[in-house]
Amino acid sequence: MGKQKIAVAMSGGIDSSITALLLQEQGYDIVGITLQLWDSGEIQTGCCSSKSVDEARAFAQKIGVPHYVVDVKDAFKACVVRNFVDEYMNARTPNPCVVCNPNVKWKYILQKAEELGCSKIATGHYAQISQQNGRFFVTRGTDVAKDQSYVMWRLSQEQLSKTVFPLGKYKKTEIKELAEKHGFIDLVKKSESQEICFIPDDDYRGFLRDFVPDIDTIVKKGDFLSMDGKKIGEHQGFPFYTIGQRKGLGIALGVPAYVQSVDKESNTIKIGFRDDLLAHELFVSDVHFSKYDSFDEAANIMVKIRYNTQPAPCVVEKQPNGWYKVVFENPVWAVTSGQSAVFYEGNDVIAGGIIEK
């Protein structure tokens, strides 16, 4: 019997590159696949740039594995970018990775991998995949600071069953040490992309203006309101603001002020203080289950409401309309419509859904 063949999703960065190297050293037959997601033009940073494709190809050549590039720019634009723009134009704050992972990244990498005769795919995410009672689910990575389980909740059982996360048991420092040990100093020194991959300059407002050229005709300037409804200033249009935003408001109240709510219909934005953003409950739609196929009634679990927060204890109850009501044991800060609520049991992802305030 020949070696097991695994396709590695390669972006040119340290994590996916060392993933390929680790699997190769473990004796697997490796092929690299890079998705061309977006034309970033002259900006050659981030995982969507043509430079990242070249870097992925070059690394594959260095370690002697075949490399394939799949152009999925049309699908990415139609699915991920369109959703991103539509959500902001509806006064919501999207999470593009949550949309991209199942509908573009996993879909097309698995498709190409199967064409090449691969039994599994691997990515450089800091997460783990577990199996229990015939179900696959994501478990938090060992490196808590780098854990990426939050953006994996929409992956299907089939997608999870065909995926491995070799970096799940490693810490980032260990991956850097491995790269250095093998002489890949350029990978260690390479800066990591923190922004949205198709907005490498991190200016989503400028991106909206480019993507919706007549946005200033569609969306007018509107009023900033105090929590009691009094006008306290003028904003540039509701799509350019998000819950919890403090910088770039253009108003001075003498104390730190934060966006509390964004109302599309009235084109108004309420401004308040930090404690005004504390919430005791939220509602979740589009719930997708992983570890189990349902919640127990009034289940006591943990929920994470954004990527860079810790899970908070809560009680979950199903509503007549199919949504789930989440009541927090202690209030949480800046609940934001359009973001993901991801439910955990210990380190295991039970389910996830979209926040509806």
State the Cα–Cα distance between residues 283 and 354, nearest whole angstrom: 8
Sequence ranges of the chain with CATH classification 3.40.50.620: 5-124+166-189
- Closest alpha carbon to 82 in 96, 71, 98, 72: 96
Active site residue 48: no
Buried-exposed string 183-198: b where 16+ CB fall within 10 A, e elsewhere: ebeebeeeeebeebbb
Give the domain 220-272 fold: SH3 type barrels. (2.30.30)
Residue 107, pLDDT > 80, answer yes
Query: For residues 243 and 295, which has the higher predicted lDDT (pLDDT)?
Result: 243
Which residue among the candidates 79, 118, 197, 314 is catalytic per the annotation? 197
CB 239 within 8 Å of CB 89 = yes
pLDDT at 197: 87
> What average pLDDT is seen over the chain?
93
Residue 37, pLDDT > 70, answer yes
Which residue among the candidates 47, 48, 79, 100 is catalytic per the annotation? 100
Residue 219, pLDDT > 50, answer yes
pLDDT at 192: 76
- Closest alpha carbon to 87 in 211, 179, 3: 211
- Closest alpha carbon to 122 in 270, 209, 210, 22: 22
The mean pLDDT value for 68-82 works out to 97
Which residue pairs from 75-79 have beta carbons closer than 8 angstroms and sit at least 24 positions apart in sequence?
75/103, 75/104, 75/108, 76/35, 76/37, 76/38, 76/100, 76/104, 76/198, 77/38, 79/103, 79/104
CB 277 within 8 Å of CB 270 = no
Sequence ranges of the chain with CATH classification 2.40.30.10: 277-356
Superfamily in which the 5-124+166-189 domain is placed by CATH: HUPs (3.40.50.620)
The mean pLDDT value for 261-278 works out to 96
The mean pLDDT value for 95-116 works out to 97
Which value, to the nearest 10 degrees, does the dihedral of the CA atoms of residues 72, 76, 78, 81 take? -160
pLDDT at 1: 46
pLDDT at 44: 44
Q: Which CATH number fits domain 277-356: 2.40.30.10, 3.30.70.260, 1.10.3720.10, 3.30.1330.80?
A: 2.40.30.10
Residue 207, pLDDT > 90, answer yes
Sequence ranges of the chain with CATH classification 2.30.30.280: 220-272
Active site residue 100: yes
Q: How far is CA 118 from CA 70, 71, 78, 121, 135, in A?
A: 16, 19, 28, 7, 22
pLDDT band at 40 (very low <50, low <70, confident <90, very high): low
Residue 43, pLDDT > 60, answer no
State the Cα–Cα distance between residues 253 and 276, nearest whole angstrom: 15
Task: Enter the pTM of the model.
Answer: 0.94
